[in-house]
């Protein structure tokens, strides 16, 4: 199993310190020999949220030439601009570059970005199709949710951009199966929910007469504690108030406990876990990432 990380982008602190924390967390991920590096996408939030394309450019300087990528909520982005930004980032990374993408939610950010939330599915599909053609070097015109004529981009990606589509609802999982290289399962799924969703994804691949994918990923919000006592203390403090998630969807424990829970997802058929640190303290979040190196060794030794 491969273990990657999505570095948090929101920090309620001094604005320069928040940016520095993202760089520090990237260094910790590199020290832990994690397999992939990602950063998310959100807009017009009331507290500092660092935008992904400039931050990823800086974070790649701390990374170790393994796969990396950004999440884009495609209905909020002009496809030509998005294709250019991703292609430029791909030129900075010596391994493959990954576009994680999704529909997005939160009507406030749609209104602020001049997008209609009701058009999300068609905007997503038109955007992704246009971006893939632009990355192939084609001249692209669109008269749909966006309107542009004879667009071409340069530089082109040095190798094909891998597309991971985040999806949880049934129509979205079907879209991910049909249009994506990889499906990225929702972090709020429990183990049983993850099993059912994976079965639904495989059925969708079969329906569209597509081969079994080599990569199936899931996001998990985690904390690798120094001890089981520390883990229990954190879980008690969170209660049922973390992002509206079922507490069973969170992975909190010492290194061996986290490794065992990762193994459970591997047994279901997931090949990649993309972690997000859930501890609010920056030093604890970095310590958790450092301990992922031990978790990774344990998971590798299970088989």
Task: Inform me whether the pLDDT recorded for 302 exceeds 80.
Answer: no
48-57 burial, b at 16+ Cβ within 10 Å, e below that, comes to: bbbebbebbe
Task: Inform me whether the pLDDT recorded for 303 exceeds 60.
Answer: no
119 token code pair: 């058009």
Rounded distance, CA 153 to CA 150, Å?
Answer: 10
Task: Inform me whether the pLDDT recorded for 6 exceeds 90.
Answer: yes
Determine contact, residues 7/25, Cβ cutoff 8 Å: yes
Q: What is the pLDDT of residues 171-197, one digit of tens each?
A: 999 999 999 999 999 999 999 999 999
pLDDT of residue 212: 86
Task: Inform me whether the pLDDT recorded for 226 exceeds 80.
Answer: yes
Q: How confident is the model at residue 78 (pLDDT cuts 50, 70, 90)?
A: very high
Nearest to 40 by CA among 108, 96, 109: 109
Q: What is the pLDDT of residues 15-70, one digit of tens each?
A: 999 999 999 999 999 999 999 999 999 999 999 999 999 999 999 999 988 999 99
pLDDT of residue 65: 86
Count of Cβ atoms closer than 10 Å to residue 139 Cβ: 11
Question: What's the average model confidence in pLDDT over 123-136?
Answer: 98
Question: What's the average model confidence in pLDDT over 137-164?
Answer: 98
Per the prediction, the chain carries an average pLDDT of 96
Rounded distance, CA 257 to CA 138, Å?
Answer: 49
Rounded distance, CA 126 to CA 200, Å?
Answer: 24
Determine contact, residues 69/131, Cβ cutoff 8 Å: no
Range of the domain at 179: 2-300
Residue linked to tokens 């590199």? 30
Q: How confident is the model at residue 301 (pLDDT cuts 50, 70, 90)?
A: confident
User: Angle of helix 52-59 relative to helix 15-31, nearest 10 degrees?
Assistant: 50
**What total number of domains does the chain contain?**
1
Pairing between strand 2-7 and 140-143? unpaired
Q: What is the pLDDT of residues 232-254, one digit of tens each?
A: 999 999 988 899 999 999 999 99
Q: 199: alpha, beta or left, given left = phi > 0 and alpha = psi -120 to 50?
A: alpha
Residue linked to tokens 């199993």? 1
CATH number for position 248 = 3.20.20.30
Q: What are the DSSP calls for 268-287, one per residue? A: HT--EEEEEE--SSHHHHHH
Determine contact, residues 34/7, Cβ cutoff 8 Å: no
């Amino acid at each position: 199993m491969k273990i990657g990380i999505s570095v948090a982008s929101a920090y309620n602190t001094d604005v320069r310190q928040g940016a520095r924390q993202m760089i520090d967390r990237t260094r910790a991920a590199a020290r832990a020999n994690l397999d992939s590096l990602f950063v998310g996408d959100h807009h017009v939030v009331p507290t500092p949220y660092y935008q992904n394309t400039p931050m990823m450019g800086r974070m790649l300087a701390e990374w170790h030439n393994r796969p990396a990528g950004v999440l884009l909520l495609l209905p909020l982005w002009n496809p030509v601009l998005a294709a250019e930004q991703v292609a430029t980032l791909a030129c900075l990374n010596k391994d493959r570059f990954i576009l994680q993408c999704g529909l997005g939610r939160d009507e406030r950010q749609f209104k602020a970005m001049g997008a209609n939330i009701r058009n999300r599915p068609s905007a997503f599909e038109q955007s992704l199709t246009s971006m893939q053609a632009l990355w192939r070097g084609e001249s692209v015109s669109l008269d749909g949710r966006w309107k542009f004529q004879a667009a071409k981009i340069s530089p082109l990606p040095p190798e094909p951009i891998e597309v991971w589509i985040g999806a949880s609802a049934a129509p979205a999982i079907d879209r991910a199966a049909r249009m994506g290289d990889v499906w990225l399962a929702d972090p709020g799924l429990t183990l049983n929910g993850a099993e059912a969703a994976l079965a639904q994804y495989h059925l969708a691949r079969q329906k569209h007469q597509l081969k079994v994918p080599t990569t199936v990923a899931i996001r998990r919000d985690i904390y690798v504690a120094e001890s089981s006592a520390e883990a229990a203390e954190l879980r008690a403090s969170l209660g049922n108030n973390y992002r509206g998630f079922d507490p069973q969807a969170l992975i909190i424990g010492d290194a061996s406990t986290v490794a065992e829970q990762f193994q459970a997802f591997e047994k279901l058929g997931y090949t990649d876990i993309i972690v997000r640190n859930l501890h609010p303290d920056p030093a604890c979040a970095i310590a958790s990432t450092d301990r992922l190196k031990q978790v990774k060794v344990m998971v590798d030794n299970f088989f």
